[in-house]
Structure 1
């Protein structure tokens, strides 16, 4: 999230940490840099002023001046105030579904913010994490593809979709969907509304009528993280037209300046409830202001990293592989492919690296992440070009087969050889894990300074 802002603020945080003595002069210098970083990130001026004033007041108090490590104390204040600006401690941060079923959630926002996709992502999150029976419906009768798009993404999310057409009135669609949801015992009804390229009175009047007809328990304002300064004006218009209960921030994985998050929350006074982290259907996470502030300041989000890995690792497959290795069965190319696919399910290398602290991800950043991602996809292509027998018995792959596999995958024979060499290294590692070899191996790895240290086999990613 907010790559430009993160880069600038994390550099400032590093400088602040090194301060042995905090004075009014160096606090003023630091805050001038923070102010410029926030303005360049398209954070609205009133939000910047409020943030800087709060940090300055606390930075010049006893909390910092009397601290043994004033630099660290100042970083802590900036972190806390950034989290407060993002909505830390605001009531209603959790999605409220405490209503007579179905709980209606109205999705509002401009066209192009990712509202329809976000509706399906929210359906998936509620279905999987909160075990709700979810129905979606599109009241967007102006964009021809909107209704069909919601149908497609809702199916991907594993929820149910209520049909509508461009000839119907939005209020009639919403009432019919609500009636259907009641009769078929749905827990939640998600209503995707029409967007416009800009705020206009017709849009606002229509969404006010929808709100009156549905009486939703949640009215979520969907805003694009890359929207910049205009996010404040749009948020203000929607906040005046509707009793908003929360914000969904989309496209936080883009090269955004990040100002929309702070501006929209400040203007509406409601918490950011969700953040879109990728284009994938599961790329939506519950927004935690403190953790996101840590990310912006380059401190990383290890909690989110652990959650991401835990949610996406196939434990049954992992246990099956462990049992296979323990029994002495050979680790084959099917197993090798499964390990690569696990990485993709976790969002790929770049998604994992984003959640590491800046100093750690910067080291990894020396390697071209895009090239690494392409390399993973190439390995998958090579294995997919093999026959089932070749995957089970890699020893069968000789010169003629290598040429056929290379041709099928669109690569050179040398790349097939490289993959087989890496597979061989991993296979050797798995053999050492059998019996008591695992403990010896862990001890050897424990003595290494870092990844790629002496004797560490090269992994496929």
Structure 2
């Protein structure tokens, strides 16, 4: 997961700060030296790190901090505030024209950054906001680029305008705009060609498209896993073509995360979205304050709640709550919970958004908790049951267990273990809901497991 190593290092630094009753200037300087090394190892630009440390130090060695009741926490707050400032302070949206007009968005980036997939993801986001987007296939060079856009467009329920690979991208963009205007579309997204590296031909093509159609927003898609290189790419595109915002992809991968901390400072352009997976729904609005919280190991509860609200059926959640109170939830409810958890990015994604959980549950403990293969086996066991068995777990006798084990391709001991765990969970949930009920007011958010 992005930032995991950086988060761990920063938390160790802050742990030492918290343990001190009073801070000296030497304590702050030592701590910031370690913060500096952690940021550099995360592939944050040296210039950015230098300015960041200078800014934090100027505030952290002030009298108010040194003589405060909890100076360690005050230094952490300063680091958090400076991280937010570094990444842009405020959330930036794609600037759209009135719904009666056509907003033209041009997507740019190097080959392999996930530009075509991101184009479809953004179309889906805009469609969900009530817009009517049209995708234009302007990449006539990469084999299957047009087909990829068409497949993804179909999945999002968004029309794709294509003229094959024998026309010039400029002509395709012009024809797409005419099509958009005559067919009631109010957003036109141009999926342009990328290269393996920056060259004059690609830059010229983008400039030509901008000269041919009135592009409102040029969005650059960069791969977070390329680290400092992503920042260099953003700077070059900004200088040569002009960009209005950045989309960082693959932030869920094994990346050091430095690009997210450097791009705004180096290019002056905001990060609009971050790609957190390959599914078309795995595109998150970029919130500098939430990202700073994740980096410092404070979790991201707001994003977790938003994910839950978007993916959890309210009626099903209420029905589930009633079943839990009476210990009546069955294996169908279990399947629903697994589906909801998958829609939210899986249990590991959920855990990483909880304050302190990602940092505490490292290594084998976290791996055993989020054993995807084990979860898949349990799901196979449930799917091997008959509808009546799922509705009434009490029906499952030894002979039925034999049949279920055979159908799921597992040992009968695993079936026994899973059913026993399920029964224990039912009893525990009944106790928990009883305890919460006595406590009076309860929150409206529940995790689906």
Q: Please say whether Structure 1 and Structure 2 have the same fold, judged by a TM-score greater than 0.5.
A: yes
Q: 1:334 to 1:178 in 2, by over 3 A?
A: same
CA displacement, residues 386-431 of structure 1 (integer Å, 9 cap, x when unaligned) = 232332343443333322322222211111222222333345567x
Q: 1:13 to 1:325 in 2, by over 3 A?
A: closer
Aligned residue in 1 for 2:51: 50
Aligned residue in 2 for 1:125: 125
Q: 1:103 to 1:9 in 2, by over 3 A?
A: same
Matches within 5 A, 1:192-341: 192-322=191-321, 331-341=329-339
CA displacement, residues 108-130 of structure 1 (integer Å, 9 cap, x when unaligned) = 111111111111111122222x2
Q: Is the partner of 2:131 in helix, strand or coil?
A: coil
Give the distance between the partners of 2:354 and 2:374, measured in 1 at CA. 22
CA displacement, residues 115-171 of structure 1 (integer Å, 9 cap, x when unaligned) = 11111111122222x221122122111111211111112222232222231112111
Give the distance between the partners of 2:262 and 2:324, measured in 1 at CA. 53
Aligned residue in 1 for 2:10: 9
Note the C-alpha offset of 1:313.
0.8
Contact 1:55 1:77 in 2 (8 A): yes
Contact 1:13 1:297 in 2 (8 A): no
Note the C-alpha offset of 1:214.
2.6
Aligned residue in 2 for 1:456: none
Give the distance between the partners of 2:343 and 2:5, measured in 1 at CA. 27
Aligned residue in 1 for 2:89: 88
Matches within 5 A, 1:364-375: 364-365=361-362, 366-369=365-368, 371-375=370-374
Q: Is the partner of 1:274 in helix, strand or coil?
A: strand
Give the distance between the partners of 1:285 and 1:383, measured in 2 at CA. 32
Give the distance between the partners of 1:300 and 1:390, measured in 2 at CA. 39
Give the distance between the partners of 1:330 and 1:15, measured in 2 at CA. 48
Please, which of 319, 338, 349 is the counterpart of residue 351 of structure 1? 349
Give the distance between the partners of 1:147 and 1:85, measured in 2 at CA. 37
Give the distance between the partners of 1:35 and 1:400, measured in 2 at CA. 63
Aligned residue in 1 for 2:359: 362
Note the C-alpha offset of 1:279.
1.9
Give the distance between the partners of 1:297 and 1:392, measured in 2 at CA. 44
Gaps in structure 2 of 5+ consecutive residues: 442-446
Q: Is the partner of 1:226 in helix, strand or coil?
A: helix
Give the distance between the partners of 1:286 and 1:375, measured in 2 at CA. 32
Contact 2:108 2:191 in 1 (8 A): yes
Give the distance between the partners of 1:214 and 1:2, measured in 2 at CA. 39
Give the distance between the partners of 2:286 and 2:226, measured in 1 at CA. 18
Give the distance between the partners of 1:43 and 1:429, measured in 2 at CA. 46
Note the C-alpha offset of 1:340.
2.3
Q: 1:76 to 1:322 in 2, by over 3 A?
A: closer
Note the C-alpha offset of 1:10.
2.2
Gaps in structure 1 of 5+ consecutive residues: 447-458
The root-mean-square deviation of aligned C-alpha atoms, in Å, is 2.6
Contact 1:422 1:460 in 2 (8 A): no
Q: 1:174 to 1:369 in 2, by over 3 A?
A: farther
Note the C-alpha offset of 1:296.
0.8
Give the distance between the partners of 1:85 and 1:188, measured in 2 at CA. 31
Give the distance between the partners of 1:403 and 1:308, measured in 2 at CA. 39
Aligned residue in 1 for 2:444: none
Aligned residue in 2 for 1:105: 105
Give the distance between the partners of 2:101 and 2:11, measured in 1 at CA. 45
Give the distance between the partners of 2:318 and 2:190, measured in 1 at CA. 41
Contact 1:101 1:185 in 2 (8 A): no
